Structures are given as C-alpha cells and as structure tokens.
Amino acid sequence: MAPIGKLIGPTANFRNYKARIVAKHLGVDIETTPQFKLGIDNKTPEYLVKYPVGKVPAFESADGFSLTDSSVIAYYIASKGGNNSSLLGQTPEETAEILQFIMFAESDFTPAALGTFSPLLGSMPMIKPAHQQAEQQLDRFLDALNTLVVDRTFLVGERLTIADVVVTCDLIMSYKFYLEEAGRTQYHNLTRYFKAMVAQPAFKAVLGDVELCKERLKPAAPAVDETEEEAAPAANPKSKLDLLPKPKMIFDEWKRFYLNNTAKPDAMNWLWKHFDDEGYSFWKVEYKYNNELTSCFMTNNLVAGVCNRLERAQKYAFGCLLTLGKDNDNMIWGYFIVRGLEVPEEIIESADYESFDWSPADYKDPKTRAEIEDCFAGEGPALPRECNGGRIFK
C-alpha cells in the first residue's frame, strides 16, 4: 500500500513514535525521514513556509495536507487510516476523555518531564529551583497516573486508544532515565501498565525493547582532574594560573559539592567555610547592552553561548549568569569565582569579555554575600529582579 503521508522529523524521538505506533497498529504505511537533522532541517525557508513554528514532528499527507504536533498527527492518522476506529473512542465521552489525557500529557506531564531531564542531559540550563520544581511536578503526575491505572488495562474504555499511545510515549523518558527499580515499585500500577503497553506488537515494532532505568540520571559532573592540585607545576603550564601556589580550597571539590547539593543553604555554607581568598576572588558580572535584549528565551540563548565560549576558562572559573526580568525588559547579571586575584586571561581573551563589566566583589560585605548566595541558587530576595533562566558555568 502506498504511504498515506510523510512524518517529518528525527525518528528516534518520543514525539515521532506516536504517529508511527498508530500507523503500525492500523496497518497503514507512513514515510519517515531518518536523516532529518534537528536544528538544521526545521530551520530552512522551505520548512518554515509550511510549518512556521519550526518544530518537529510535522506531517504531510499524500494529498498535500500539512499538520504539526505529534499528538495531533497521531490523531489524524488514527482518524484516516485502516478499519480500526476504536483508537479515537467509541462514544463522545470516550473521545473527550482521550483528549483530556492528550492535553494532560502535553501541557502538564511533558513539561515536568523535560524540566527534569533536559538540564541533566545538558540540553537546557540547570537552574536548581526550576529543576526541583519540575521534579516535584513529575512525581506528582506519576503518582496520579499510578492511581488512575490501578484497575485499568487501558486509559479509556476497554480497548487501546491514542490516549495510551500518547501517554506511553511521553512516559518513555521517565522509565529510561528516572524510575529505577525502587521508583518502578513505588509506581507499580503504572509500571504494569507501561510494560503492558510497550509489549504490544505495534509499540514493539517501533520502540524495540525499552530498556528500563538502572540508575537515575545525575547531573553531569564537571571534568575532574584529580591530580590537578597535587602535582608540581607543569614544566610548560598551559596557563600562568597553574604556577600559583597551591590553594587551600580545591576548585573541583566546590564544583562537585555545588552540583550534588542544594545551593542554599548546603553548598553556600560549604563555600563560606572553605573559601580561600588568597587563591580565588569573586567578580560581579553585568552585561553592558541590556537595553538590546528582547525575550527572556533569546537572552537565555545568549547566556548559553557566552558560557560555551568561556570553555578555555573552565578549569579556573565557576559562575552563574542569570536572565533577570521579563520579556523585552531583562538583564544578564551574575557572579563568578575565579582562580587568582585578577580576571584570568582565559576570560579576558574570550569573545564576549568586552560585552560585560567585570567588577571585583567583596564577599565579606553582607549585601554582596546575599547576592552571591541568591545568584548561585538562582532565586531569592537579594536578586535585583525575578530570575527567568540562566546558566551555571562550571
């Protein structure tokens, strides 16, 4: 049978799976785009003419009908193909319930899951309070789903519907990255449901065997050179900072402690206890061109780029650059700890140095100390304005 259309977007993606599982279940064929490059192919003028939001997946039917949104595409395919109509419910009430699950999956569950996993996978900045909030929400929604399926085989009615397809696909990351054995036991009804779904032939044909989480995803630790502070200065040091006397505080110990603990109070208490003001200094960092900033989303992208371009300073600096304020009225603001008592040349030579004011910060001054604490926590009353994102440079 000729394909009923083309599903456009990367194939190894939980959103992409939805339409393909529905198509498999119905026995209809859809074309896919395994070579699709996210961030490139969805930014071309041809793509944006058809799909102006520039997101994937998208769908183009054999007769030229264009559609976006993974669950809507799954819905459309279910409504079109094959002779199995029960995927969309058999009464108006069932169809409404199916939509209710799809809305919940898209507006509640998936943002909580992505808010939990994306910072750990490095595809979103790690802002600890936002991350903690996402994780709490994720647990809350997993718990709700666990209760919902206590006496159900399927989410709606007595047969598979696209609610099962959408919710199961949206659960995949949680079962891969988050729910290790203890979590699977805690949410045992949901685990039973999830395992039953992914064992069905249409799911299996698309997903293969879903490998369940062995160990919960952790924040990526900074590159650690255990011997860094122990070894004698190298004969040809890469940085003149390598020639400084051995500091009392080991930078990587601070970075590790910060990453593995709550910023306030634990990590900050650690820092004030161990900070060595002969080996390190604090700097306040402010963007010079705040009046040119537009949306917070764009500012966050700018901050991410600045941090990426500071890569050479990674061994000698730690800091937090925040997006403060609201859309069309925001600023980039933050604090850095650097090795030595001056801004390192690794920072001065970076492409963005001239765009920021770097001023020495006296961490013994209570106001500055409170600002540093709230900056490294990404929240708190000492921030000049509300935090809307940012990036930790570690």
Ligand X SMILES: N[C@@H](CCC(=O)N[C@@H](CS)C(=O)NCC(=O)O)C(=O)O
> Considering the complex, what minimum distance in angstroms separates the CB of residue 108 from ligand X?
13
Query: How many of the chain's residues bind ligand X (CB under 6 A)?
Result: 10
- The two beta strands, 317-326 and 356-361, are unpaired
User: DSSP H helical segments within the chain, as ranges?
Assistant: 14-26, 45-50, 70-80, 92-103, 110-121, 128-148, 162-177, 181-186, 188-198, 201-207, 251-260, 268-274, 296-309, 345-348, 366-377
Residue 83 vs 123, nearer CB to ligand X: 123
Torsion angle defined by CA atoms of residues 65, 66, 72 and 75, in that order, rounded to the nearest 10 degrees: 20
369 makes contact with ligand X (CB under 6 A): no
170 makes contact with ligand X (CB under 6 A): no
Which of these ranges, 65-73, 231-239, 270-278, 312-320, lies near ligand X under the rule CB under 6 A? 65-73
User: What is the amino acid identity at position 20?
Assistant: R
69 makes contact with ligand X (CB under 6 A): yes
d(CA 282, CA 269): 16
Longest C-alpha distance within the chain, in Å?
78
> Considering the complex, what minimum distance in angstroms separates the CB of residue 304 from ligand X?
14
Binding residues for ligand X restricted to 291-350, rule: CB under 6 A: none
Binding residues for ligand X restricted to 98-157, rule: CB under 6 A: 106
Residue 56 vs 307, nearer CB to ligand X: 56
What are the tokens at 190?
């949901």
13 makes contact with ligand X (CB under 6 A): yes
Residue 11 vs 368, nearer CB to ligand X: 11
N-terminal to C-terminal alpha carbon distance within the chain: 54
Nearest Cα residue to 173 out of 216, 228, 136: 216
Q: Which of 56, 124, 263, 303 contacts ligand X by CB under 6 A?
A: 56
15 makes contact with ligand X (CB under 6 A): yes
Q: Which of 23, 30, 70, 388 contacts ligand X by CB under 6 A?
A: 70
Q: Which residue ranges make up the site for ligand X (CB under 6 A)?
A: 13, 15, 54-57, 69-71, 106
